[in-house]
Amino acid sequence: MARINRRDFIKGASACGHRIVRWSVDVARLASALTRAVRPDLAGYSPFPADAWSDLPAILARIKPPVFPDRIFEITRFRRRW
């Protein structure tokens, strides 16, 4: 079996990565075109807001720190008995 060196591996991996990115962009364009063809009212729709950072204060306001009960557990009581 032929061995491959690092340089050739990285060349091949980057070429493959480029093809994957190119394919995903093409798929996104196709999906967008199909959406416009089937549902013209959704032509400019995006599931993400134009300025996603504007939602940050509302998201942070919903985050509450956890509250743990004030209890002590003796770990020696919970050891396994084989």
- With bands split at pLDDT 50, 70 and 90, how would you rate the model's confidence at 42? low
pLDDT in tens, 14-41: 776 667 767 777 777 777 777 666 666 6
Q: Which amino acid, residue 57?
A: P
**Number of domains into which the chain is organized:** 1
Assigned domain for 33 exists: yes
Assigned domain for 74 exists: yes
Q: Are 5 and 12 in contact (CB under 8 A)?
A: no
Assigned domain for 39 exists: yes
Distance CA(13)–CA(20), nearest Å, equals 10
The pTM score is 0.30
- pLDDT value at residue 6: 78
Assigned domain for 48 exists: yes
Domain span at residue 73?
6-78
Q: Are 49 and 55 in contact (CB under 8 A)?
A: yes
Assigned domain for 14 exists: yes
54 compared with 43, residue with greater pLDDT: 54
Task: Provide the 3-class DSSP secondary structure of residue 40.
Answer: helix
Please calculate the CA angle 42-45-51 and round it to the nearest 5 degrees.
Answer: 165
Assigned domain for 1 exists: no
pLDDT in tens, 56-70: 888 899 999 999 899
